Chains A and B, each alone.
Chain A
Amino acid sequence: SQTIHQWPATLVQPVGSPLSLECTVEGTSNPNLYWYRQAAGRGLQLLFYSVGIGQISSEVPQNLSASRPQDRQFILSSKKLLLSDSGFYLCAWASRYEAFFGQGTRLTVV
């Protein structure tokens, strides 16, 4: 069966520091991969999605970037974090019909 791993679960970072969140998928090949961000009590904002290695679509202009160096690896990065980057970050892979989420990373920028 397919599983998705995302880490770390929580992260506290100072303003101006870099960020790297990693997500890996097992049990499927060439998955469509997504990064979402969720502010407290809010909806899921699509940040990036990828249909294949090196293919990244950015949905919202922001202080973040994404990369897909391997088929089942998706990385979310920032060179310098802002306070507004705080939130719950969720990685997902999707079939045609449903999305499967990782456990999420709760990022607090201080």
Chain B
Amino acid sequence: GQSLEQPSEVTAVEGAIVQINCTYQTSGFYGLSWYQQHDGGAPTFLSYNGLDGLEETGRFSSFLSRSDSYGYLLLQELQMKDSASYFCAVHDKIIFGKGTRLHILP
């Protein structure tokens, strides 16, 4: 089977940096992606890692270590609008983690 583990909640201060970790167990792994979901909305894609290493997209970065079955999403210069839930997901058949609720304090 497949399972993903990520923290249920994280709290950070506006302007700070926060890291959301994700560990996974799966067969047929092709890559790890990250999604953001605001309350009442649909998830939106943030980043994808198919190979080990760091991918950077603006304030967001994502890291993957295939040997450790581990990845993380790094959010820099946090803004209040970043308050949302963040999900990691494994490919090929896209299976999502249970999500991390990010709370940002002013």
Which residues of A pack against B, CB within 8 Å? 34, 36, 42-44, 46, 49, 57, 90, 92, 94, 96-104
Contact = CB atoms under 8 A, between A and B. Distances in A.
B103 to A, nearest CB: 13
B66 interface: no
Contacts of B11: none
Contacts of A104: 41-42
Contact of A97 (B31, B44, B87): B31
A38 to B, nearest CB: 9
Q: Shortest 8 CB-CB distances between A and B: which pairs?
A: A43-B98, A101-B42, A44-B96, A98-B45, A97-B48, A43-B99, A104-B42, A99-B94
A8 to B, nearest CB: 14
Contacts of A102: 42
Contacts of A46: 93-96
Interface string B23-44: 0000000110101000001111
B97 interface: yes
16 contacts: A36-B96, A42-B99, A43-B97, A43-B98, A46-B96, A90-B43, A94-B94, A96-B92, A97-B91, A98-B33, A98-B45, A99-B33, A99-B45, A102-B42, A103-B42, A104-B42
B45 to A, nearest CB: 4
B42 A34 contact: no
B75 interface: no
A99 B92 CA distance: 11
Contacts of B35: 99
A101 B94 contact: no
A99 B89 contact: yes
Nearest to A103: B42
Nearest to B39: A41
A44 B87 contact: yes
B33 A43 contact: no
Contacts of A101: 42-44
A3 B95 CA distance: 21
